[in-house]
């Protein structure tokens, strides 16, 4: 039985990865190290908490003494490193936290891994060179450090190019700069010490369990509350959207079969502007949970004499609970702004699109990201199972269930 250290998996991507990985690999024990900062929530891993091959440890990846203890106590033989401060707006307000976690934390992890697994540069300890079925050790059997990163390290694109693994790094925010720095640290430990490392850079993820502050959860939550749906700038910034479980499957392939020292881009080939995203979500919600249901609920809740007060407020209170801890995505400041910037295609009150509100763009907002995943597809056989149209339906269904709303 091999013990794998996962970091930061109480967050969005990691909490989708853990149950997938536990189910697929019965020969792995998974140790999850997570500090449970604002984006980490153990409720995301409720289904795994009593699993015999899963162990949660609350702690900081910057705490070298703790990381060394975990490696020694569980004889960690692989690392999949998700943990990161990851919201661009927050990095603009407080860049120091991003440098500490994303740079110093990554250095601490990879340095402890190197010293635990290797005698000296390019020489693994004998215990990690054991043969498997009388075959010599290979890259796949050696302890491996897999670093999860982002396409934002590449900067911004023109209207036609795609990010490849050869695209020069050009980060434009404190967040992307800190992730680029951590990527370089991982690269250095492969080049300088021969550590078995791989890096994956992904495009924008979406799906179940995403933190409230992100774009898609903000759209869904605000729509279901009947609140303004804030969209930065002109809404024409483009992202390549990747369904989270497809990302998890890509990570799995690279961790097990990727070539040592290589980088692999993971992208969904689903380019959409922010306006296209919000329009699609509103169209689906218009069909499965029309906006008149929201307004009817609001009217009912204004009458205290209604007979079943608790049942009336169930949907509203569920949404309010989740909204209160949200959203770093910007909220419009006044109704005047909302009225002036309504989506032009819809009449008042007919659709969730009426709630779309344009707000001031954020500083350093990259115009377009798009991943070329050809290397992963051709070398390792990865293919996304979901396109955006299928993935967003699954995502909305998950959020409706989260908020206790029946279609």
- Residue 128, sorted as left (phi over 0), alpha (psi -120 to 50) or beta, turns out to be alpha
> Largest Cα–Cα distance in the chain?
77
Please pick, among 54, 154, 175, 399, the residue that the annotation labels catalytic.
175
175 included as an active-site residue: yes
- Residue 212, sorted as left (phi over 0), alpha (psi -120 to 50) or beta, turns out to be alpha
264 included as an active-site residue: no
Tally helices (H) and strands (E) across the chain. Answer: 15, 14
DSSP state, 406? -
Please pick, among 152, 183, 316, 386, the residue that the annotation labels catalytic.
152
Distance CA 23, CA 16 (A): 12
Question: Torsions phi, psi of 290, nearest 5?
Answer: -50, 150
Closest CA to 393 of 284, 283, 289, 278: 284
> Six-digit token pair at 223?
């729509």
Please pick, among 151, 271, 354, 372, the residue that the annotation labels catalytic.
151
Distance CA 236, CA 210 (A): 22
152 included as an active-site residue: yes
With 0-12 CB in 10 A as exposed, 13-18 as middle and 19+ as buried, what is 340? exposed
Distance CA 357, CA 359 (A): 6
DSSP state, 137? P
Residue pair 103/149 in contact (Cβ under 8 Å)? The answer is no
> What does the radius of gyration of the chain's CA atoms come to, in whole angstroms?
23
Q: Which residues make Cβ contacts (< 8 Å) with residue 71, sequence separation at least 6?
A: 5, 112, 113, 116
**Catalytic positions, please?**
151-152, 175
């Amino acid at each position: 039985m091999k013990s794998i250290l996962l970091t930061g998996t109480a967050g969005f991507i990691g909490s989708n990865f853990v149950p997938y990985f536990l189910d697929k690999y019965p020969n792995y024990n998974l140790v999850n190290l997570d500090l449970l900062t604002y984006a980490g929530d153990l409720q995301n891993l409720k289904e795994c908490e009593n699993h015999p091959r899963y162990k949660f440890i609350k702690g900081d990846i910057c705490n070298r003494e703790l990381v060394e203890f975990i490696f020694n106590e569980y004889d960690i033989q692989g690392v999949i490193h998700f943990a990161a401060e990851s919201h661009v707006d927050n990095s603009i307000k407080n860049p120091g936290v991003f440098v500490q976690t994303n740079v110093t934390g990554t250095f601490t992890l990879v340095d402890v891994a190197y010293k635990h697994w290797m005698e000296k540069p390019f020489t693994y300890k004998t215990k990690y060179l054991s043969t498997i079925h009388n075959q010599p050790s290979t890259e796949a059997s050696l302890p491996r450090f897999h670093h999860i990163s982002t396409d934002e390290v590449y900067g911004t694109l023109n209207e036609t190019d795609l990010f490849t693994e050869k695209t020069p790094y050009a980060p434009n925010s404190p967040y992307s700069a800190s992730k680029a720095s951590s990527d370089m640290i991982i690269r250095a430990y492969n080049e300088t010490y021969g550590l078995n490392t791989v890096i994956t850079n992904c495009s924008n993820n979406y799906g179940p369990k995403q933190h409230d502050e992100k774009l898609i959860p903000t759209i869904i939550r605000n729509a279901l509350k009947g609140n303004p749906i804030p969209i930065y700038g002109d809404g024409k910034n483009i992202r390549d959207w990747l369904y989270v479980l497809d990302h998890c499957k890509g990570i799995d392939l690279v961790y097990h079969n990727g070539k040592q020292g290589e980088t692999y881009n993971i992208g969904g080939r689903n380019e959409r502007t922010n306006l296209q995203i919000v329009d699609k979500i509103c169209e689906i919600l218009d069909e499965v949970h029309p906006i008149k249901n929201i307004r009817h609920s609001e009217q009912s809740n204004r009458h205290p004499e209604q007979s079943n007060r608790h049942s009336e407020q169930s949907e509203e209170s569920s949404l309010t609970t989740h909204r209160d801890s949200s959203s770093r995505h910007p909220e419009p400041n006044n109704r005047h702004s909302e009225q002036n910037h309504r989506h032009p295609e819809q009449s008042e009150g007919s659709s969730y699109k009426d709630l779309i509100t344009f707000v001031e763009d954020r500083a350093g907002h990259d115009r377009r990201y798009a991943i070329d995943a050809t290397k992963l597809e051709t070398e390792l056989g990865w293919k996304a199972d979901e396109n955006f149209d299928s993935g967003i339906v699954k995502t909305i269904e998950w959020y409706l269930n989260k908020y206790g709303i029946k279609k």
